[in-house]
Amino acid sequence: MLEIEIPHAQSIKDRRQVVRSLKDRLRHAFNLAIAEMDAGEVWNRATLGIVAISGSQSYLAGQLQEIDRAAHRITEALGAQITDSYAEFLSD
């Protein structure tokens, strides 16, 4: 899960531009599912949920670290910042 702050956002359009760009870039770079988890009513914040699946927890942990680093780089380039990120592993 990623919590994002978008300080320059003055409208929903500004927020959508950052969120859409981040989602598209992460989808393109990694084999994952990503979706907005909040209602989108606050212009300068967003919460994104990310799902990745693997048969190997160690591989998945490494992939999630790569995703987190990429998300930080992308959000900084978009003028935003990640205020919180965390991962949860589910298994049978």
Residue with tokens 């909040």: 38
Average pLDDT, integer, range 66-73: 97
Average pLDDT, integer, range 52-80: 95
- The answer to whether 68 touches 85, Cβ cutoff 8 Å, is yes
> Which of the two residues, 38 and 17, has the higher pLDDT score?
17
Q: Please state, in angstroms and rounded to a whole number, the distance separating the CA atoms of residues 70 and 16.
A: 19
Domain ranges, ordered by start, for the chain? 2-85
For domain 2-85, give the CATH number.
3.30.70.1120
Of 12-16, 37-41, 57-61, give the lowest mean pLDDT range. 37-41
pLDDT single digits (tens) 16-31: 999 999 999 999 999 8
- The answer to whether 3 touches 82, Cβ cutoff 8 Å, is yes
